[in-house]
Amino acid sequence: MRNLETAGIENINCREEADLIIIGAGPSGLFCAIKAAGSIHNKNKHYSRIIVLEKKGTPGRKLLISGSSRCNITHSGDIQEFLSHYGEHSRFMRPALLSFTNRDLVSFFAEKGLAMIEEESGKIFPATGRSRNVLDILVRECEAHKISLHSDQKVLSLSKKEHGFEDRFGHWIEHGFEAITEDGFYLSPLVVIATGGCSYPATGSSGDGYRFARALGHNIIEPGPALTPAYIKDYPFRELAGISIPDVQVSLQHSETTRTNCGDILFTHEGLSGPAILDFSRHIMPGDTIRLSIIPPERRPELEAWFLKRTEEMGGKGLKTLLEDLPPAFCRSGQSIPGRLIAKILEISGIPAELKGAQLSRHLRITLFNNLTGLPLEVARLGGWDIAMVSRGGVDLGEVNSRTMESRLVKGLYLVGEVLDVDGDTGGYNLQAAFSTGALAAGSIAKKLA
């Protein structure tokens, strides 16, 4: 830490007091500030001082790259359906999502002049296709509400001010917090940790919030990369990199538990990606087995019957050609299996592609059906922090009040966004979680400041 006396910072006199300090200018922190200020100003109380401290030179860096810079801000659907996209944490998310819904989020931006469009998949994006427009509105709203946004202010530590402090009006504040940055220290009776998780650390979210929460007594559920590809041991699909297969059933065996998911998969150079894998990644561990069902397992009897009939009729045909005639209806997507994938499944099954249908032994036929309906692939590792879209793990939800986002352990401390042990599926669920938890905390904070 820089020596405060020699740092030469004059304008903040190395000490600032506020009514509310928010650490982190990502979507959860900015929105919390805007909503808190909005509620207070609606009650004609203009005196509250809200400071947002941001480590980076500019706010919202992760927001800018979200959705390939198009910002998949939320998803359509009613909240009941929405809740199923937060793994085991839907119960915790319920009050936040009910109090500020996907529709509320769309209306908020529409009122500020940014319309949203819904894609066929249900994903919602700004109609302009630019995340920059979302961030610009958030920053503009901060300015409109006189929120002080301090960039290049990395918070180094956050602690309770045990013996209280005197605020700028000379009032004695019994309980408060001290956030120390390289340039000075900030005091406030209320503080929000909105520092995000650990993924894409270059955007500024590198796990600092876990440290702050832990120092204040919170338990941190071990963070790990999520919404990330799975790298496969002895990966057989390298030559298929870039090919995406729609609506594949994927099942995951982890110790005694088997989970199943359906969605698109994408073959990459080293492993599997695409929504079906990314959404599963929060559960995947190295050593687990993923089973890909190009054809759903329940259709196996039909598949066998079709195959036997086909070999009776045209047993002289090569197996690849024969399988290329497989009716698309066998696949969940209703689309035919690409020829290159059929050739690869035959190769993995130890069957020469030119072998005639009639020459296939019973043993190889069973292997082929097994692989078409549940090809086992062992996970070598998951994509790391530099490639994962979100973090699983974080501040233990049992220690946070889901109706206010206030810590159950430390009065006046709030936790919002990805720093919490909440991670959603791909499709806009994570940004909605950031906005909804930020808004919920703001409601509780505004009551305290009123």
Q: Which residues lie near ligand FAD (CB under 6 A)?
A: 23-29, 53-56, 61-63, 65-67, 71-72, 154-155, 194-196, 199-200, 204-205, 208, 389-390, 417-418, 428-431, 434
Q: In the complex, what is the shortest distance from the CB of residue 26 to ligand FAD, in angstroms, rounded to a whole number? A: 2
CB of 437 closer than 8 Å to CB of 96:
yes
Pick the closer one to ligand FAD by CB: 346 or 442: 442
Q: Which residues of 88-125 are buried (b: 16+ CB within 10 A; e: fewer)?
A: ebbebbbbbbeebbbeebbebbeeeebebeeeeeebbb
CB of 127 closer than 8 Å to CB of 118:
no
3-state DSSP assignment of residue 11: coil
Q: In the complex, what is the shortest distance from the CB of residue 138 to ligand FAD, in angstroms, rounded to a whole number? A: 10
**Neighbour count for residue 74 (Cβ, 10 Å):** 29
Q: Quickly list H helices, 202-274.
A: 208-215
Pick the closer one to ligand FAD by CB: 187 or 292: 187
Pick the closer one to ligand FAD by CB: 107 or 335: 107
Q: In the complex, what is the shortest distance from the CB of residue 218 to ligand FAD, in angstroms, rounded to a whole number? A: 16
Q: In the complex, what is the shortest distance from the CB of residue 410 to ligand FAD, in angstroms, rounded to a whole number? A: 18
Q: Which of 156, 165, 141 is nearest to 19 (CA)?
A: 165
Pick the closer one to ligand FAD by CB: 56 or 320: 56
CA 360 – CA 374 distance, rounded (Å): 20
The amino acid at residue 36 is: A
CB of 438 closer than 8 Å to CB of 97:
no
**Neighbour count for residue 273 (Cβ, 10 Å):** 22
CB of 143 closer than 8 Å to CB of 25:
no
DSSP calls for 300-329? HHHHHHHHHHHHHHHTTSBHHHHHHTS-GG
CA 188 – CA 22 distance, rounded (Å): 10
Pick the closer one to ligand FAD by CB: 180 or 409: 180
Pick the closer one to ligand FAD by CB: 137 or 319: 137
Pick the closer one to ligand FAD by CB: 304 or 396: 396
* Token pair for 114: 């940014």
**Neighbour count for residue 392 (Cβ, 10 Å):** 25
Pick the closer one to ligand FAD by CB: 120 or 234: 120
Pick the closer one to ligand FAD by CB: 252 or 395: 395
Q: In the complex, what is the shortest distance from the CB of residue 132 to ligand FAD, in angstroms, rounded to a whole number? A: 14
Q: In the complex, what is the shortest distance from the CB of residue 52 to ligand FAD, in angstroms, rounded to a whole number? A: 9
**Neighbour count for residue 80 (Cβ, 10 Å):** 11
Q: In the complex, what is the shortest distance from the CB of residue 426 to ligand FAD, in angstroms, rounded to a whole number? A: 7
Pick the closer one to ligand FAD by CB: 229 or 357: 229
3-state DSSP assignment of residue 404: coil
Q: In the complex, what is the shortest distance from the CB of residue 368 to ligand FAD, in angstroms, rounded to a whole number? A: 38
User: Ramachandran region of residue 267, left (φ > 0), alpha (ψ -120 to 50) or beta?
Assistant: beta
Q: In the complex, what is the shortest distance from the CB of residue 434 to ligand FAD, in angstroms, rounded to a whole number? A: 4
* Token pair for 369: 């059906």
Q: In the complex, what is the shortest distance from the CB of residue 433 to ligand FAD, in angstroms, rounded to a whole number? A: 7
3-state DSSP assignment of residue 110: helix
